[in-house]
Structure 1
Amino acid sequence: MSTLDLIDIQKSYGIVTAIEPLSLSVANGELVCLLGPSGSGKSTLLRMIGGFETPTAGKVLIDGVDVAFDPPEKRPTAMVFQSHALWQHMTVFENIAFGLKLRGFGKAEIKRKVEAGLSLVGLQDYGQRRPSQLSGGQRQRVAIARCIVLEPKILLMDEPFASLDQHLRDRLREEVRQIQKTLGITTIFVTHGQDEALSVADRIVVMSMGRIEQVGTPGDIYASPATPFVAGFIGDMNLIPVTVAHGRITMGGIELAAPVADGPAMLAVRPEDIAFAESDASTGGATVLRIVNYGSYFKVTVALESMEWKVQAPKSTRIPEGAVLPLSIGRYQLFRDEQVVFRSEPA
């Protein structure tokens, strides 16, 4: 069993607070993504887990043992960095073997472990090459193998694919997910890419300004964001200021149930939960401003009561720019004072 528990962990630099006190538990074999924009504190939190930053307060428990003030080499963790951090004067084999030598393994055991690591990342025939002879994706595979052969209890990954092109990123994250499942290793993965987090994580920790905004499965985070920040950061979301009156929201021909107190609120609707209805001059409608072809669907920008909305329309849709059409809304939710006050039932 390899579990991670952060208890009231905090990090300050003088009077500047980088991480507000937070707690998080990660189960054995779980892959958890720390997701947030630049400056949200996700990499600082990862570095405190790995020992590269010392917390101002709190505990870092790995299998129940507090390692908060142990140096990196004394922790049962290994980190894959964005920059690969390979030694250019060493071969691939020597790079992967370096940490094993420091730990006192014999030559035969080192050879066995390195070859197994190379096989796991699909580089069986690359042991005698130099890093300069490898592609970016291959260098990152070497960095992953170098960590895996140490058999850490916790694998840490700090935006490992950020420098790679989109196609290679997609392929490598699928490979890393498969390796992680095969080994059953508890993994913390930092990214600012929502697609990356949604595709690989068992759970996502959404961070902002050194705080945890929400923790949940990718499906829960996407379907039921807990705050306006999460709603706007994960996927496309229409965030529209509205006024609730007598338990209803009425605007531009749209009428929605809103069983909350009267007053201002924030309406949140995914583009895929909006559809164009049959034209009806009596109900008004939204004016089509722009249509962008995304291959499998159209992203349509419309104007409704001076607000722009995004609508995801099927490829069969035939709508000219400038058309005025009513909208129908399926699933939606309301925020007030940064909290969810109402979620509609799934359509």
Structure 2
Amino acid sequence: MNAMYELTDVRQRYGARDALHIDALSVAPRSIVGVAGPNGSGKSTLLRILAFLERPVSGAVRFDGADVTQAGNGVRRRVTLLTQEPYLLKRSVAGNVGYGLKVRGEAMDEGRIAEALHMVGLAPESFARRPWRELSGGEAQRVALAARLILRPRVLLLDEPTASLDEESAERIKAAAKAAREEWGATVVIVSHDMDWLTSVSDTIVRMREGRLVRSEG
């Protein structure tokens, strides 16, 4: 079975600053991989490369066995990234969750919207019609995650998904990440400073410092 990702000698540079240098990294399909390290260690840069939002200045990126260093939209649609401060549209919860379907030319399926909300622990009958401005921080993060889960991505990338969240929301996000792996075989990569939470959800934890991988556990 092909690795979901294989990175070889991948470098990213911003001006004169070297932001990332990954000699080798392999991510197995259906795995949940945690990424830890101090601020500025390259974690978010790595996620953006895995999401095909940035192209490394050098090195090779393989996705599911294929070289995708210059990935097109078809590959990008198989991967989705939840940023630390996700943006919600000024519309209802259902409108936010189903928006990705609309962008892809699919119908706004109420059943799929309800399923995605259930995955993040939000009752559709209570939340589907609620306006975005009436959500707490934890609820907004869970709605943003539901908007990505509804697309059933091959890879789910989460950047500090529990930052400043209450314990219930953090547990719901953990459960949703595991459900994505179990229900449709998603591979999940999570950046987090919360080591207790990250250890509880991940199969393997990769540690970074100054743009490099320094240790792998699990």
TM-score, normalization by structure 2: 0.88
The aligned runs of 1:62-211 (5 Å cut-off) are 62-70=63-71, 74-75=75-76, 76-87=78-89, 89-107=90-108, 110-123=109-122, 124-125=124-125, 126-165=127-166, 167-168=167-168, 170-183=170-183, 184-211=185-212
The aligned runs of 1:219-298 (5 Å cut-off) are none
Comparing both structures, which one devotes a greater share of its residues to strand? 1
**Hey, what does 1:57 align to over in structure 2?**
58
Q: Deviations over 1:191-218 (max 9, x none)?
A: 122222222110000000011001121x
- Deviating above 4 A after TM superposition, structure 1's stretches of 4 or more consecutive aligned residues are 71-74
The separation in 2 between residues aligned to 1:129 and 1:72, in whole angstroms, is 32
Secondary structure of 2:35's aligned partner: strand
The separation in 2 between residues aligned to 1:96 and 1:79, in whole angstroms, is 14
Going from structure 1 to structure 2, the CA distance change for 1:106 and 1:148 (only over 3 Å counts) comes to: same
Q: Which amino acid aligns with 1:78?
A: T
Secondary structure of 2:12's aligned partner: strand
The separation in 2 between residues aligned to 1:97 and 1:173, in whole angstroms, is 19
Higher relative contact order (CA 8 A, sep 6+): 2
Q: Does the 8 Å CA contact 2:49/2:56 hold for their aligned counterparts?
A: yes
Q: Does the 8 Å CA contact 2:51/2:81 hold for their aligned counterparts?
A: yes
Q: Does the 8 Å CA contact 1:155/1:187 hold for their aligned counterparts?
A: yes
Q: Does the 8 Å CA contact 2:83/2:159 hold for their aligned counterparts?
A: yes
Query: Gaps (5+ residues) in structure 1?
Result: 218-347
Q: Deviations over 1:205-246 (max 9, x none)?
A: 0000011001121xxxxxxxxxxxxxxxxxxxxxxxxxxxxx
Percent same amino acid at aligned positions? 37
RMSD over aligned CA atoms reads: 2.0
The separation in 2 between residues aligned to 1:73 and 1:93, in whole angstroms, is 26
Query: Gaps (5+ residues) in structure 2?
Result: none
The aligned runs of 1:19-38 (5 Å cut-off) are 19-38=20-39
Q: Deviations over 1:23-44 (max 9, x none)?
A: 2111111000110000110111
State the aligned residue count: 213
Secondary structure of 1:95's aligned partner: helix
Answer with 1 or 2: which has the greater Rg.
1
Q: Deviations over 1:43-69 (max 9, x none)?
A: 110011112222111222221123333
Q: Which amino acid aligns with 2:81?
A: M
The separation in 2 between residues aligned to 1:119 and 1:43, in whole angstroms, is 28
The separation in 2 between residues aligned to 1:174 and 1:100, in whole angstroms, is 24
Q: Which amino acid aligns with 1:179?
A: A
Q: Does the 8 Å CA contact 1:50/1:72 hold for their aligned counterparts?
A: no
